[in-house]
Amino acid sequence: MRIKFDEQLNRLNNSLIEMGIAVERSIALANQALVEQDVSLAKQAIAADNEIDHMEQDIERLCLKIILQQQPVASDLRLVSSVLKMITDLERIGDHAADISEITLILAKKQYFKELEHIPQMAEATMKMVTESVDAFVKKDLALARKVIADDDRVDSLFSTIKKELVDLIKANADHSDQAIDLIMIAKYFERIGDHATNIAEWVVFSLTGTHKDIQIM
């Protein structure tokens, strides 16, 4: 019985890794499409959201199957319940990558009034957070999960910098206001991606310790 359970848990880990890779690729596509104003890449990122949605559904079914068949307790129950929470955040990240690409389709019609600098940095930072949060779960690495949580401060700082720069540009030249507002929205989506990666890391901490946001749950 335990052998079958371990096989299911291994499948769960592999499925989560695949979903994490798909989400990271979606962020990368959205970022590249934005920087290069590439409509084709933007459409790929939007289409990828459907694949990520299907992955979430498949993993959710596997989690429920494990709970019903194996009736896990203690650390095993924490692990499976954590995955159910994590895939929701991964799915939302896929949504935000698609949201960014939807705006890119609009921005691709006109040349940028300034070189993009900090938004690609946000994209790189959030991709790393997503990768490391999933790695922390698979490797049961508590220190790595806590590092991801701490890394969200850099993403928040980049968002504040971008917002200030673009607001100042709007004040200096109202002709750029529409594009600046779109770029602020994109930065906000990247900031939300960082928040979701942080959520994933917090569920990793819970799966290992039974504590979520410093509250002992189980």
According to DSSP, the residues that pair with 216 across neighbouring strands are 211
- pTM greater than the 0.85 cutoff: yes
The mean pLDDT of the chain is 94
Residue 215 has pLDDT above 80, yes or no: no
Q: What is the pLDDT of residues 28-62, one digit of tens each?
A: 999 999 999 999 999 999 999 999 999 999 999 99
Per-residue pLDDT band at 116 (split at 50, 70, 90): very high
First-last CA distance in the chain: 24
Residue 207, pLDDT above cutoff 90: yes
**Across residues 162-184, what is the average pLDDT?**
94
Confidence of residue 216 (pLDDT cuts 50, 70, 90): low
Q: What are phi and psi of 211, to 5 degrees?
A: -110, 135
Whether 73 has a pLDDT exceeding 90, the answer reads no
Average pLDDT, integer, range 80-93: 97
Three state DSSP letters for 154-196: HHHHHHHHHHHHHHHHHHHCHHHHHHHHHHHHHHHHHHHHHHH
Q: What pLDDT score was predicted for residue 212?
A: 84
Domain count for the chain, please give it.
1
pLDDT higher than 60, residue 92: yes
Cβ atoms of residues 56 and 88 within 8 Å: yes
Residue position matching structure tokens 């490797």: 139
Q: What is the dihedral of CA 24, 27, 29, 32, to 10 degrees?
A: -120
> Could you list the residue range(s) of the whole structural domain that residue 134 is in?
2-216
pLDDT (0 to 100) of residue 1: 59
Whichever domain contains 202, its CATH number is 1.20.58.220
Distance CA 54, CA 137 (A): 21
